[in-house]
Structure 1
Amino acid sequence: MMKSSLPDGRTVQDVAGGPFEGLLVADFGRVLAGPYCTMLLADLGATVIKVESPLGDETRSYRPPEYRGESTYFLSINRNKQSVVLDFRNPDDLVLAQRLAARADVVTENFKPGGLRRFGLDYESVKRENPSVIYASITGFGTAGGAGLAGYDLLAQALSGLMSVTGAPNTEGFRAGVAVFDVITGLHTCIAITSALYHRQRSGEGQHVELNLLSSALSGMVNQTGGFLLSGQSPTRMGNDHPSIYPYAPFRTHDGELVLAIGNDAQFATFCDAIGLPQLAADTRFASNADRSAHRDALRPLLTARLVTKTAWEWFDIFSPLQVPCAPVLDVRGGVEFAAKIGLEPSVAAGTGDHAVPTIRNPITFSRTPASYRAAPPALDQDGEAVRRWLQVAEDDEDHVGDRVTVPAIRKEGR
């Protein structure tokens, strides 16, 4: 079990490599939810060994777009990892995969329920050799009635009801512009793993944590699913309008759209003064949020007529000092550039030298144990020789942190 103190007397929190320095993660996951989770763990210092089939993770083939001939999808979620190809149909490779699972602090996988049992890589099999393992399984729809369903984010968006509330009332349901439930499930998996590690730190006990896209979807839809349970009313598509707050939507300006997110009456009064229509705040149709929501069809054209007189950025510069929540609607380039403008430093190079790859920064800021960007995403089997050599070494001859094996310096800084 990874200990809170290291052999030289330092604590894990004092290690510059991150709070998970010394944690070994065997990553049998692929595509998005699992790899996103393990990348976050790797950013925070964990040693993540990504096990791939001879064909590689499917996302290696997700293109366009590309960067230096590689899939940007794969590059976006696999930095700081080591890649080894292990073909489970090959008896020698399977032994190495089982040995890796037996030595790991954490195992992650997103095979169909029961899919790893025949390889001796399911939780029960791994636990026999590694009773303190934290074993995280991600499925699409659980292990009961939905076990046979394919675990794709788009299916979860459809079956959860998200598509029924995404889009305009007169359009078909739309999917979100990103695989949002894969991402949420990856985040939930991180929470599950860190919680289980904390329990193990106190008790010495490992455990099996199970997640699925649909449960994460229903949790992530918060007020929409909660509203249904509490009221019995199923929400419908409202375009960009909010069901309970107004004005809380994009509005046309002289050169584009501006989102208003006015959440209370005081903000609305300030907003009305700023656009030169103070009488609206006193109008009985618009005096309270409930009134504005009920009379939004009457309010919208009054606001739009004034907002089209200036550009989105001009209004942003007027409203922001007044604490009126608003934002121009930007494309992805604009979003990254705006984050840089306000000092968030969204882009960071993973790796060093000629092999460095631009990636989006880990969103968590630690005061003592910051995230690191040690290595670019690996080529397929880039670390295979070193990982296999390490797995073939007798356990008594390995380096340890606490009483858990850690991987030697498989790859130098960079790539």
Structure 2
Amino acid sequence: MAQKTALEDVQVLDLTQFEAGTSCTEALAWLGANVIKVENPKGGDQGRGASTDTPGVDSHYFMLLNANKRSITLNLGTDRGRQIFTDLLKKADVMIENFAPGAIERLGFGYDVVQKINPRIIYAQVKGFGEGPYENYVSFDMIAQSVGGALSLTGTTETEPLKPGPTIGDTGTGLHCAIGILAALHQRERTGRGQHIKVAMQDAVINFSRIAFARQAASGKAAVRSGNRSALGTTAPSGLYKCKGGGLNDYCFIYTTRAGNRHWDRLLKAIGRADLIGDERFNSPEKRWTHHDEVDRILSEFTQSRTKAEVMKMLGDAGVPAGAVYDTMEITQDPAIQKREMIVTVDHPKRGKFTLPGWPVKMSESHVAVDRAPLLGEHNAAIYAEWLGLTARDLEELKGKDVI
């Protein structure tokens, strides 16, 4: 008997596009939910064509964000399309959208309408901003990172603010939304009622930046960019150290806790400088911070004659937090990461072999194999028959009227 998955009985109508919303529904799909992308027949999710290298073929961007989903086409701008969507809503557990502000309401499917159609539905929305003067502004990841404080914290005071590489404004917001949906589904078990979930991208980035607010609370001033050094300014080492090789990413990040000297003492033993244990300049995290230039000099002497992998292994084996700077290709080719299905290769009907990151949450009683993203409308026949009992002839008629 096949193992059941955590969310296999959860039906999700996914009206999301680009990244913030699709990250949410991809997470739900990887937890076993039946996620159905409801897409415009003319082009579908805008992410399909945006930045594609081959016209008419789904972009790599889209394929990375829509694994394990199914796709139907439906024109919500038609009366028949809206009626069909209404019928689908009656059978759904979750509906989620991240259109521009006001778009879903103009289509006639605001929360006030949908909750009357299905009082048990979890209705989730991802927007750029929460209630306030900017709530009708459109947003993308870099906008959310800017107004959420991430840019102000990234880089150094000698540089302009920098956009962090990971898309925490998009994917980070999507994951916050998924958490809310899971909580709402659990609450529904007690109340029998659905609810309205709203997540603002700005707010999600603020939540990711909580440690910076600790520095503000301690200093009474806005947190400033500290580069690779400790965000709280309370310990050293905390930074990148150049390693042998001379490549763009031949560095290792080394950190010792601000909660005592145990990491520092282990570090000194590992690099052959046990003579510095107890040295007055370095015998507390605060003193090491005061003398961080000397700390950097000592560590650089050690790292520059070794590769980043060697440095990470030597320090990691000694119980010191250290991480080589891996690029995306090194991550993709790492056998251990592949073995735990964090990097997976799937077969795509138009792209062939395609490699993508998998789902990091490993559950002993719920395993969902990573599957490819769907083609536009690929599951029309199966889903419309399963959910609404529509026949092939019905679908041909709807297609002829530009409904699907």
Q: Distance in 2 between matches of 1:68 and 1:341?
A: 32
Does structure 1 residue 77 correspond to structure 2 residue 82? no
Q: Distance in 2 between matches of 1:188 and 1:270?
A: 37
Task: Give a deviation string over 1:55-79, Cα, whole Å, max 9, x none.
Answer: 2212112335679943111101112
Does structure 1 residue 361 correspond to structure 2 residue 378? no
Q: Counterparts in 2 of 1:265-284, with a 5 A limit?
A: 265-284=261-280
Out of 161, 165, 174, the position equivalent to 1:186 is 174
Does structure 1 residue 377 correspond to structure 2 residue 365? no
Q: Distance in 2 between matches of 1:64 and 1:293?
A: 47
Paired residue type of 2:320:
V
SS in 2 for 1:181: coil
Q: Counterparts in 2 of 1:228-239, with a 5 A limit?
A: 228-229=216-217, 231-239=219-227
Stretch deviating more after TM superposition (83-92 or 128-137): 83-92
SS in 1 for 2:170: helix
Structure-2 change in CA distance of 1:346 and 1:120 (3 Å): same
Structure-2 change in CA distance of 1:28 and 1:352 (3 Å): closer
Structure-2 change in CA distance of 1:314 and 1:386 (3 Å): closer
Q: Contact (CA 8 Å) 2:76, 2:82: kept in 1 or not?
A: yes
Q: Contact (CA 8 Å) 1:339, 1:345: kept in 2 or not?
A: no
Q: Counterparts in 2 of 1:79-98, with a 5 A limit?
A: 79-98=67-86
SS in 2 for 1:127: helix
Q: Distance in 2 between matches of 1:65 and 1:347?
A: 22
Q: Contact (CA 8 Å) 1:218, 1:225: kept in 2 or not?
A: no
SS in 2 for 1:104: coil
Q: Contact (CA 8 Å) 1:269, 1:281: kept in 2 or not?
A: yes
Q: Distance in 2 between matches of 1:81 and 1:215?
A: 27
Q: Counterparts in 2 of 1:133-212, with a 5 A limit?
A: 133-212=121-200
Q: Contact (CA 8 Å) 1:39, 1:78: kept in 2 or not?
A: yes
Q: Distance in 2 between matches of 1:169 and 1:298?
A: 21
Q: Contact (CA 8 Å) 2:49, 2:56: kept in 1 or not?
A: no
Structure-2 change in CA distance of 1:65 and 1:312 (3 Å): farther
Paired residue type of 1:219:
N
Q: Counterparts in 2 of 1:280-319, with a 5 A limit?
A: 280-319=276-315
Task: Give a deviation string over 1:89-141, Cα, whole Å, max 9, x none.
Answer: 22221222222223210000112333212222111101111011111111111
Paired residue type of 1:315:
V
Over the residues paired in the alignment, what is the CA RMSD in angstroms? 2.5
Give the deviation of 1:393 after TM superposition. 3.3
Task: Give a deviation string over 1:299-356, Cα, whole Å, max 9, x none.
Answer: 2123212322222222223222211221221211112333626953322345699967
Out of 241, 252, 271, the position equivalent to 1:251 is 241
SS in 2 for 1:116: helix
Does structure 1 residue 16 correspond to structure 2 residue 3? yes
Q: Distance in 2 between matches of 1:88 and 1:353?
A: 28
Q: Which residue number in structure 2 is paired with residue 63 of structure 1?
A: 51
Stretch deviating more after TM superposition (157-166 or 142-151): 142-151
Structure 2 gaps of 5+ residues are: 391-404
Q: Number of residues paired by the alignment?
A: 380
Q: Distance in 1 between matches of 2:95 and 2:337?
A: 39
- TM-score for the superposition, normalised by structure 1: 0.84
Identical amino acids, percent of aligned pairs: 28
Give the deviation of 1:15 after TM superposition. 6.8
Q: Distance in 2 between matches of 1:230 and 1:268?
A: 25
Structure 1 gaps of 5+ residues are: 1-13, 395-415
Q: Which residue number in structure 2 is paired with residue 106 of structure 1?
A: 94
Stretch deviating more after TM superposition (349-358 or 322-331): 349-358
Does structure 1 residue 260 correspond to structure 2 residue 254? yes
